[in-house]
Structure 1
Amino acid sequence: MNKQILAWIGSISMVMLAGCTQSMAQAPAHGTMASPMAMTSSTKAAQLRAGLNNLFSEHVYLAGAATNAALGGREAEFKAAAGALDANSVAISKAIGSVYGEGAEKAFLPLWRRHIGFVVDYTVGVAGNDKGKQDTAIDDLVSYTQDFGAFLSSANPNLPKSVVADLVKHHVVTLKDVIDAQAAKDPARAYTALRTAAGHMQMIADPLAEAIVKQFPDRFNG
C-alpha cells in the first residue's frame, strides 16, 4: 500500500487518539443512576438487552467496513465508514450515560474510542507490512482490556474486572481475525470472521444488560 494511503489511515488514528486526551470524569459511585432509557416499564430489561446487542454488533460491522475500505485503498469509503463507526461510539456512550449519568458517558466515550484507535494502528501495521507496529497495537489492545474491565467493574459490582477484560480480549482477537483475512484478500474467510466477531458481542452485551438490571431491579423489572 502506498505512503499516501498509509497517511490518511494514520490521520484517522490521530483523530481517534486525540479524543482520548480529553479529561475523563470518574465512573459513578455504585447505586448512582440518571434517568433510565425511554421504554415502557414492562419491557425495560428486554429493550436494554436488545439495544446493547444492536449497538455492539453494529460496532463490529462498521469497524469491519472501515478496515476493509482502508486495506483496499478506498479513501472516501474509509472516511465514511470511520465517521459512522464514531457515531456508533457516541451512541454506545449515550446508552451508558442513560444508566449511569453524564459523568460516566463522558468517561466512557474516550475510553471506547481508544481501542478503536489501537485497531486502526493494527490496520496500519498490516497495510505497511510492519510487524513491529502490529505487535505494539496488539499489546496496547490487550492492556486496554484491563482498563475497560476496571471501568465497568467500578460502575457495577456485578461485573468482575477479570471477566469483562477476558470478554473484551476475545472481541479484540475476533476483530483481528477479520482484519487479517481482509488483508489476505480472502473474502470468504473475512465475512465468516466478521459474523463470528459480531456474534461474540452478545457475550458482552448480555452480561452487561443483566448486570445493570441486577444493580437496578426497581428501574428495569416490570
Structure 2
Amino acid sequence: MASPTEARPTDPLPTDPLLSDPLPTGGEAAIDTDLVDRLVDEYSARWTGLVDRWATAPGTVLGTLGPSGTSSHLAADFLAERYPISLRLYPTFDEVLAALLAGEVDVVLVPSAYSGLTSFHWHRELELLGFFPRATPAYGIASRAEGPGDKPELRVSAMWEVRRIYHEVVPAELRDRPFTWVDAESTQQAAEILAAGGSDLAVTNDPGVRAYRLSWVANRPGAEIVWTVFGSRTRPLTPVE
C-alpha cells in the first residue's frame, strides 16, 4: 500500500472553469468575472425569452406533478401568479412527459430532484427553455393523530425520491423499528395513503400534513432545488395574432 506521500498525485491541479487559475491549495481563488458574466447573461436571456413567449401566447398550459399541494404544484403556482399561464396537474411525471409529447400542454415543469429528469433532458423532441431555483416546503415524517402504534413492522408511504429523508430525520424511538415501503407517486399521495390507513407513517411535505390533518413525527426545512421548464422542439409556442 502506498504511503500518503507516495499516493499524492503529481499532475497539475485541476482547473475549475469558474476560476481564472488552477484550484489553489489554500486561500481564496480568483474569480473569472468574464465567465460569470457570460453565464449570468445566458441565464437571463433564456428566462427572458421564455417569459416573452408566455407574454405573446397568453393561456399557455404548463403541466406538472399533482395533485394540489405537491412541491411541483407549488412551484408551478408561483409561476402562474406572475405570468399568463394556466396549470394542468398529472399523477406521475411519465404522464407529464406524455402530455407534452401529445400536445395536451405547451410546457412542463420538472424538479431537478426527480430521479427520471434525464428522460426529459435526453428526449429528442424536447428542449430546455428555462430554469430557476426555489425552495420546497418543509418535509418530514408524518403520522395520523394517534401515532404509528406499536406494530412489529411499520409501513411507510413515500415517493422514491424522498425516501432518504426518513433516515435523516427519524427519531430515536423509531430508528430501530423494522419497516417496509409503500410506493407513492407524490408527497400528497403518500399523505393520502397514510390518512386512509394504507400506511403507518408517510414521508410528505407541510401541505400534505395540513391537507390530511396529520401530525409531524419529525421534519426538516425544505431544500432549495432547481426547477426546469421544457417545451417541444417541433411545436413551439404560437404568438397570439
- Which structure shows the bigger proportion of residues in strand conformation? 2
**Greater relative contact order: 1 or 2 (C-alpha under 8 angstroms, separation 6 or more)?**
1
Which structure has more helix as a fraction of its residues?
1
Specify the TM-score bucket, using the shorter chain as the normaliser: under 0.3
